[in-house]
Amino acid sequence: MLVDDLKVGLSFAAVTGTNAVLNRISLVVKHSADNLILTWTNSAFGLQAASTVTGAYAPVPGATSPYTNAIGAFPRFFRLRAN
């Protein structure tokens, strides 16, 4: 079964001194023809990719939201990381 829209809620904590701030950011993944389209709302996060879920993750050069990734023969895993 193919899921057309998948919304993933991600949490992160920013710690400064003794104060911690917990924020939520959404990553939306859509399927369109032979592509996955990844969309996120906070430009303070950069997209990273790896060929295995355990890494090693590297920044996707020039990736901005929305980002289109062609579906290919090899798996690709994505994550957002604060810049």
pLDDT at 22: 57
Using CA of residue 68, residue 4, residue 2, residue 27, what is the dihedral sign?
positive
pLDDT at 23: 61
pLDDT at 55: 84
Q: What is the mean pLDDT of each run of 10 residues along the chain (83 residues)?
A: 49 53 73 88 88 90 93 85 81
pLDDT at 1: 39
pLDDT at 61: 94
Chain centre to alpha carbon of residue 12: 13
The reply to whether the predicted model has a pTM over 0.75 is no
